[in-house]
Chain A
Amino acid sequence: MSTATAAVPAARNRFVADRLFLSLAVMATAILLALVLLDGQPASAGLILGGFALGIAFFKFEFSYTASWRRFLTKGEAGGLIGGLIAIAIAAVAVVPVAALFPNYGGAIAPLGPSLIIGAFTFGIGMQLAGGCGSGTLYTAGAGSGRMLVALAFFVVGSVFGSLSLPAFLALGGVDPILASDYLGPWGGLVATLASLALAAFVIALVAKKRGANFKPSRAYVAGGVIIGLLLIAVFAAGGHPWSVTFGYTVWGAKIARTFGVDFSNAAFWKWPGPQHALTDSVLTDTSSLTDFGMLLGAMAAAAEAKPFASGAWPPAKSLLAAVVGGLVMGWGARLGFGCNIGAFVGGVASGSLHGWVWFGCALAGCFIGIRLRPLFGLSRE
């Protein structure tokens, strides 16, 4: 048999497999949509679809907080970092005033204290080891990266441990959330938020220029920033709060642990009304889980449509170990830091909450350490 004739069945098999995963993603999404619509919950359907669209957008624009922060720290390149700020600025235009003016909506707020600082710093280390942050782990796992599927599993485990640690770290003290709109009103708060973003972009660009690196975001990053910013507004409109990723992971982990007999009834975190409700009720009534499921499946559909799905080989053991350690550390850090780069940084800053910027600074410092640890696992610093 010639090489040419042997290649034909191989290509056909690959095509069939891609259609299989595309169908699987669409079918799973349709089932989830049907379940929430049968309960008469169009907003829940909106969250699933919003997550689905975010999965496609992150995949198509290769939007990566982890890689762009690493490029900034190692080479001074700031285009990706500034592209991420574009998405936040667009979201802020809706989130800051609406959260302040309409009682059914709220921003992503969090107290400032040791828990936030330690959590965000730890998360930064983990995201560089795992090679993905909250959103990055979700969409790359959905898009067929076995390594990131492993990172996601351990992210879930780490976040359950984080839920058990958080009350003790909160006991170390802290101050209540500081929200720009509380001091300056809805529109003054928006102006202050946009000014803080402009100042951050200016400083980041200045650092890049000083290091002789590029600070202009690529067209893909600008387009991605705009589209993701608009999708952030859509998710906010459907859920009443900015997009949050990692609380869903904690709920999944606790629900699974409970089926294996783990008792959370004495855990302080799971006695708080929100987590208690999430643990006992359907996973499809948790806003974070709904967008997470949508994003996983959206990224899967986009990846299956674009290329052979999950066709790569498993990475070396050391790289998988980095995914395990990074996932665990990120999960723990996300609970202590009140979220990941999405819930705490993007959501926090887009809400005009000071904790978002504190989280960013601490996570960036953690990334600095995480990048230095990467060679231990056979990973490049760049």
Chain B
Amino acid sequence: MQRITSVLKVNSHQFRNNELHNRRLADELKERQRAARFQRPERELERLRRQNKLFVRDRVEALLDPHTPFLELSTLAANKAYEGEVPGAAQVVGVGIVAGREVIVHADDASVKGGAWYPLSVKKIVRALDIAIENRLPVVHLCDCAGGFLPLQAEFFADRYHAGRILRNQSILSKMGVPQVAIAMGHCTAGGAYVPALSDYNIIVEGTGAIFLGGPPVVKAATGENVSVEELGGAHMHTGVSGTSDYLASSEMHAIAIARDIVAHLKRPAKASIDRAAPEPPLYDPCELYGIIPKDPRVQFDMREIVARLVDGSRFHEYQPRFGTTLVCGFARLHGYQIGVIANNGVLFNESALKGAHFIQLCDSNRTPLLFLQNVTGFMVGREYERRGITKDGAKLIMAMSGASVPKLTVICNGSHGAGTYAMAGRAFDPRFVFTWPQAQISAMGAEQAAGVLTHVKARQLAREGGRLSKQELETIREPILEEYRERSSAYYATSEIWDDGILDPIDTRSALAVALSASLNAPIEAPHYGVFRM
């Protein structure tokens, strides 16, 4: 496989500017993640200590095999919601190694609002279990939750993908034969009580763990009965009397040791086997990624330069290099695994759509997982293109991408707008994992474009009524639209809403994708088959 020859001038003014900018963005990401993960009011940490509880991250680290990677998902969930008071949506979720097994770790963060479930907490947990289902990954639940945040119950209770979906997903996982282990390290109340109950195995920590459908105050209000937490749903009762819990742990660490022991005994079904060779680092330094992505989102760059810093040996076998050049397609390896890369070098045209649809089918047939690198404002518009059937061609691309059976991974590298977002395996199309980069923007239309359109509409409206807008007045209409768009299309907004599985520092992308890809191979790859391609 031939190596990509980079034409980048790493000493150029432009490169240096980009690098400065992107390093700053990466530092900002690192700091915001650090704060979301670790910054807690002292009184919360003090309270945990008093209750003899470990901080959630200490629990997770003790659960995981040392010296193995942990791919944390949606660290910055809820960073723009609830006045920023619920970092990570009070949940820690990720893909890690426990007793040698790839598992989904789902842990309530009791240092945030007692681990209460906010609407985005529920969304994060449902997403974690969806990942478990799609990739057939066992789940370890570390439960320590104050219950649902009732003031917002309308946003997390009744609908299809609300809290009930957590329990539904757990049941489906079990039905699929994918095991779950839960540890009750705090209260598991009401809906939360079903998390350990629906897990194949559960462990309860003496003194702090409790499982009940209603806690003592609820019981008192309902029947007048006076009963303590311990008596109602404590470790001794559930392991010795009701049989709801399987193991009594004398401490959290003991519980984690038991959980590890259980996971060690779980069956190890064969993973989907795909082409794999010996791994090789990229020839070009991944740090150069910082210099490639332009500060101005309107400036175009060659995606091949990105690819060269992501794939093994910077080797890339490009498919149809002379046709549909705004879509780069080709084979490469990631930590030895063969992948098909589809990346945007501009707007999608008829040819690019056709090429993409064909390449997807080649990869599907070859059992080669797909990596979509997004930087797209959408499809080309205009009379010529419509007459040549660009809508049909886009539909073929979407049909192929939707139907592909091989695992799809998506990284939003820069812009992600319009139908391009969809065609390039956006969230709605169930890629196994979606990641973004700090400067990414995602919206129906680019901010500038949208502001332009909306301002134009307003101006025309006024014109019909006989008015005219000054340049300044136009600006006052434009600016707020731009602001709103920029805010709500930013990577931080998207990740807050859990439209993706997390923002990555570009230089972490290679490892993240390798872990994600390996995890995805726990599910079998079906034979290729698609719907109807509009020809």
Asked if A and B bind, the verdict is: no
Residues of B within 8 A of A (CB): none
